[in-house]
Chain A
């Protein structure tokens, strides 16, 4: 199985801050890396697929980068609605695996 490791597990930030979340794969996964946002009590929502492609309707302050084993999700100017948990997921090979999540909290 391909292990996905996110860092940090949690972070505190203020409105307007630039936030960066990292996801590392246990082996090269090319660009088969996707990011989701989940708010408490709600289903996950796709933000970015194939490492860097923004899902339709997702604000442009979200961006993704990376390939191989190291990937980054960046929020350029944190908004109130962005306080949530974020998960990466690899689809290079089954079993499809997720990172353990990063919780973004208010400072």
Chain B
């Protein structure tokens, strides 16, 4: 069974840092693009970042560019999101999702992890 399990969500300080992880199982992780999508409380879905299977190409949403860094360790089937310079509007559930559909910028998402909650507050 294909599974994604996020961890690392926590209460973070404005201006602080958090690192999210997403452990994958049930598929050949190194063959698929991966993505982060977030959802603020009571709001809709917002794409955050995508990374190719090799890690050679990365995209970011404008709202996180320069503050967040996506990376992956294919030897450990794990995806990461390093979140720096946290702001209150980064408060959200963060989902990792496998990318399907060819080129990185053409991805749809399946499956999704269960999500991990990041709260940014002093």
Contacts and interface: CB of A to CB of B under 8 A. Distances in A.
Interface of A: 32, 34, 36, 38, 42-46, 49-50, 55, 87, 89, 91-101
Interface in B72-122: 95, 100-101, 104-115
Interface of B: 35, 37, 44-47, 50, 59, 61-62, 95, 100-101, 104-115
B45 A87 contact: yes
Contacts of A43: 95, 111-115
A78 B104 CA distance: 34
State the main secondary structure of chain B at its contact with A: strand
8 smallest beta-carbon distances between A and B, as pairs: A46-B110, A43-B112, A34-B108, A96-B47, A94-B105, A98-B45, A101-B44, A91-B106
B44 A44 contact: no
A98 B35 CA distance: 14
A91 B107 contact: yes
Contacts, number: 66
Which of B50, B62, B108, B113 has most chain A Cβ within 10 Å? Answer: B108
A100 B39 CA distance: 11
Contacts of B104: 94
B50 A46 contact: no
B61 A89 contact: no
A27 B50 CA distance: 22
Nearest to B103: A91
Given A43-B115, A49-B100, A49-B101, A95 B108 contact: no
A94 to B, nearest CB: 4
A43 B98 CA distance: 13
Contacts of A92: 106
Contacts of A44: 37, 45, 95, 109, 112
Contacts of A97: 47
B112 A95 contact: no
